[in-house]
A and B are shown apart, each in its own frame.
Chain A
Amino acid sequence: MSIQVDNNLKDTDNKEVFEQRVHYIPCKIEEDASANVEKYFETYVTQNGDKDLTATFRGHPLDGIKLPLPEGYRGVLLTEAKRPLNEDMERKFQVAGGFKEIIYWNWDKKPSKNDNVVRAMDWVDIAEAIHGD
Chain B
Amino acid sequence: MEEVEKLRDTFRRGTTRSAKWRKGQLTSLLKLLTQNEIEICKALQQDLGKHHIEAYRDEVGLLVKSIKHALKNLNQWMAPVKAGVPLVAFPTSAALVPEPLGNVLIFSSWNYPFGLSLEPLVGALAAGNTAVVKPSETSPASSSLLAKLIPMYLDNKAIIVVEGGVVVCEQLLQRKWDLIFFTGNPKIGRLVMTAAAKHLTPVVLELGGKSPAVVDTLSSYRDRKVASARMVSAKWGSCNGQACAAVDYVLIDEKFASTWIVTLKSTLKTFYGDDPKQSNAISRIVNKHHYLRLKSLLADPRVSNSVVHGGGVDDDNMYIEPTILLDPPLDSEIMTEEIFGPLLPIITLKRIEESIEFINSRPKPLCLYVFTSRSALADKIVVETSSGSVTVNDATVQYAVDSLPFGGVGQSGFGRYHGKFSFDTFSHTKPILCRGFMFEVYSRYPPWNGSKLNFIKSVYAFNYWKLVLHLLGFGSSATT
Asked if A and B are interacting partners, one says: no
A residues lining the B interface (CB < 8 Å):
none
